[in-house]
Amino acid sequence: MKSSKFWVGVLAVSALFGVAVTYWLGLFVTPPDVIQGQLVRLLYIHPSVAWVAYLAYGVTSVGSILYLWKRTRSLKWDRLAAASAEVGVVFTALTLITGSIWGRPTWHVWWTWDARLTTTALLFLLYLGYLALRKVPASRDKIAVRSAVAGLVAFIDVPIVHQSVVWWKTLHQSATVFNASLSPKVHGEMAWTMLVSFISFTLVYLWMTIKRYQIETDIDEFDNLEVEAAIAERLREVDGLVNSKASSGTRDGGLKDGGSIS
């Protein structure tokens, strides 16, 4: 327990350090872009947070499948799926916000009906629906089954988001890092900064997901304790009722006995 706490702490510090290094490299070390100028600095964050969103939804879908599969069915997979989806929604929101900030000076609009923007927004709504479904009151197992099915269907949208640029060929530029030929179009300091950014935000994701998982576990344990306490209370009430009936029965019996004696 202590060692896991220690490693989570190490992960948190590494993530924080990585983000700080990304900040330093992105703002002070790398040069402005020939075409985009200072705007390029936003791109050291935007693709990384988008990648983390994809990763998070991937983990949610794996957790959902493992929960649905009866051989591996365990609430730990549901907790993992839930934790990862919540972090994924945060990172999808960050993707949309950073993209919008970048799009305003580049495309002169805060929002455009580009395929990737639209499908990313849909992805955001899909997983908001997933989280809304999780909040619908039901037994713990029911919530897990419902969420697993919803998580699985929602994940079908993820490859569409990535492939949408290829399919629809609209305003958004094609993939710079994870393209079909697997040859990144970024070089030198810029490439290193992007790499550090990808690693750092992945560490942030891992830390947030682990913490969220722990909270989910605590909530489940708390709920179980509440149920146990409620059962114990009811049992005490029943015992009390039985005892009082028994004692009143003894009294009645005593009277009857007394009556018969008299």
Regarding 125 and contact with other proteins (CB under 8 A), the answer is yes
CA distance 132 to 123: 14
Q: How far is the CB of 62 from other proteins (least distance, A)?
A: 15
CA distance 131 to 154: 11
Q: How far is the CB of 79 from other proteins (least distance, A)?
A: 18
**Which residues are 37's β-sheet partners?**
33
Q: H-type helices in the chain, by residue range? A: 2-24, 46-68, 75-107, 115-135, 140-155, 157-168, 188-261
Contact window for other proteins (CB under 8 A) among 47-55, 101-109, 147-155, 194-202:
147-155
Q: Which of 10, 97, 109, 132 binds other proteins (CB under 8 A)?
A: 132
Query: Do residues 151 and 61 make contact, with C-beta atoms less than 8 angstroms apart?
Result: yes
Nearest CB to other proteins, comparing residues 140 and 251: 140
Regarding 133 and contact with other proteins (CB under 8 A), the answer is yes
Nearest CB to other proteins, comparing residues 167 and 222: 167
State the burial class of residue 75 (Cβ atoms within 10 Å of its Cβ: 0-12, 13-18, 19+): middle
Regarding 93 and contact with other proteins (CB under 8 A), the answer is no
Residues that bind other proteins (CB under 8 A): 68, 119, 122, 125-126, 128-129, 132-133, 136-138, 142, 145-146, 148-150, 152-154, 156-157, 160, 167
